């Protein structure tokens, strides 16, 4: 993720004792990154930490939601489609529950949520016929193959899969940089911060044909966006000595 001393990062397995693991960490650990955990459980733990003023809890689902939101917004910007009139369809939204509300606060209000159980009466291909962007979050090779077939008949960049959340790690890295520079328990994520991250990534990435995307610039843009959400006057200093992440 960059700028983090590997000696200050520890990785612990968790089970049903997730909350206890987070609470029992030494004070020098300012943030917790949850990976490969059920998204609802991850969000509940992050909200618990925020409610009680504990260390920041961020998950890979937060990163993926912001990154996919950025991918949607970037495509709309490239094709010149205003968000207020754009139509976005999401399949399997339960695999990333934060995406739909995040898109809504980013200005995309015409959202269609689709599930496999609708297939007989309302096939996915029909559901996305008029969509400016389709996001298929369903796991598995079958869904991936279907998305690949559909993408062949759609404008480039308008069919998105979880793999298109390429900037998810940049989101987590940028958030951690700020968390480690803040007083313990003073910073937490919400949809407003994730929206700021998504918007910052869109504007940090050059349009197609106008240069390569700079990974460092994406992370820097996320960091700056998070800092502005907390306080526009916040200093740009790095993490203080002794700050750690798990």
Condensed to tens digits (0 to 9), the pLDDT of residues 73-87 reads 999 999 999 999 999
**Are the C-beta atoms of 99 and 69 separated by less than 8 Å?**
yes
- Environment class of residue 61 by beta-carbon count within 10 Å: exposed (0-12), middle (13-18) or buried (19+)? buried
Which pLDDT does position 239 carry in this prediction? 41
Which pLDDT does position 244 carry in this prediction? 47
Strand bridging mode 29-34 / 244-245: parallel
pLDDT under 50: residue ranges of the chain: 6-7, 235-246
Which pLDDT does position 176 carry in this prediction? 93
Which pLDDT does position 7 carry in this prediction? 46
Which pLDDT does position 20 carry in this prediction? 86
- pTM check: above 0.75: yes
Backbone angles phi, psi at 219, to 5 degrees: -65, -40
Q: How far apart are CA 160 and CA 157, in angstroms?
A: 7
């Amino acid at each position: 993720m960059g700028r983090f001393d590997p000696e200050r990062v520890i990785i612990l397995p968790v089970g049903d004792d997730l909350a206890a693991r987070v609470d029992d960490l030494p004070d020098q650990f300012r943030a917790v990154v949850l990976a490969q955990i059920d998204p609802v459980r991850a969000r509940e733990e992050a909200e618990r930490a925020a409610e009680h003023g504990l260390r920041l809890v961020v998950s890979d689902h937060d990163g993926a939601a912001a990154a996919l939101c950025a991918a949607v917004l970037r495509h709309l910007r490239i094709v010149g489609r205003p968000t207020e009139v754009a139509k976005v369809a999401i399949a399997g939204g339960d695999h990333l529950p934060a995406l739909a509300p995040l898109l809504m606060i980013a200005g995309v209000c015409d959202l269609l949520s689709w599930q496999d159980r609708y297939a007989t009466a309302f096939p996915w291909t029909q559901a996305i016929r008029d969509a400016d962007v389709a996001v298929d979050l369903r796991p598995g090779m079958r869904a991936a193959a279907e998305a690949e077939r559909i993408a062949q008949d759609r404008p480039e960049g308008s069919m998105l899969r979880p793999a298109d959340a390429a900037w998810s790690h940049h989101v987590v890295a940028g958030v951690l940089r700020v968390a480690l520079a803040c007083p313990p328990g003073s910073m937490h994520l919400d949809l407003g911060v994730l929206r700021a991250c998504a918007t910052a990534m869109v504007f940090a990435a050059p349009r197609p044909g106008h240069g390569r995307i700079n990974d460092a610039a994406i992370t820097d843009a996320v960091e700056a966006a998070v800092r502005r959400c907390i306080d526009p006057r916040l200093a740009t200093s790095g993490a203080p000595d002794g700050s750690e992440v798990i």
